[in-house]
């Protein structure tokens, strides 16, 4: 799994010009799932994200987690995170998981993150054409790949 994690002041996702979800202060997570991903990957990633100390404390230091600031979370599926641009100019998405693999893992990730944070996790719609708006706070953007565990 590959995730782009952005600390946001607010974020929203629209599908067919209708707002599907909106959050205030918290995290916007773009999540890419590949065929090799397992439950172990989603559990590790969820735990890592829920404990990341990337929110500012009273001294302005990034020292607080999503849970500590009672932040909200919006997760958007994004297969393009596994794009390969090695050959030519048209990206290949061969590493991205097929829907029959990705959809269950996407749902399980959302449930796991909700469990790990103790809060509702909002989401887009897997496979839908979505428009995502956000105001990156900081800016703070972190990339995590479960295959690297860094």
The burial class, CB within 10 Å (0-12 / 13-18 / 19+), for 67 is middle
**For residues 54 and 73, is the Cβ–Cβ distance under 8 A?**
no
Residues annotated as catalytic are 80
**For residues 31 and 102, is the Cβ–Cβ distance under 8 A?**
no
**For residues 11 and 58, is the Cβ–Cβ distance under 8 A?**
no
The first and second tokens of residue 109, run together, are 């990730």
Cα–Cα distance measured from residue 16 to residue 3, given in angstroms and rounded to the nearest whole number: 25
Cα–Cα distance measured from residue 34 to residue 15, given in angstroms and rounded to the nearest whole number: 24
């Amino acid at each position: 799994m590959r995730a782009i994690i952005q600390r946001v002041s607010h974020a929203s996702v629209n599908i067919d010009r209708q707002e599907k979800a909106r959050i205030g202060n918290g995290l916007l997570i773009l999540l890419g799932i590949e065929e090799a991903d397992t439950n172990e990957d989603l559990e590790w990633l969820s735990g890592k994200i829920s404990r990341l100390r990337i929110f500012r404390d009273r001294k302005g230091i990034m020292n607080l987690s999503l849970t500590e600031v009672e932040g909200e979370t919006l997760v958007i599926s994004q297969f393009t995170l596994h794009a390969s641009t090695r050959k030519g100019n048209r990206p290949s998405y061969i590493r991205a998981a097929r829907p029959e693999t990705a959809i269950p893992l996407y749902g399980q990730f959302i449930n796991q993150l909700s469990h790990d944070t103790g809060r509702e996790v909002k989401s887009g719609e897997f496979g839908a054409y979505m428009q995502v708006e956000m105001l990156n706070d900081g800016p703070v953007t972190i990339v995590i790949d479960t295959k690297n565990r860094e």
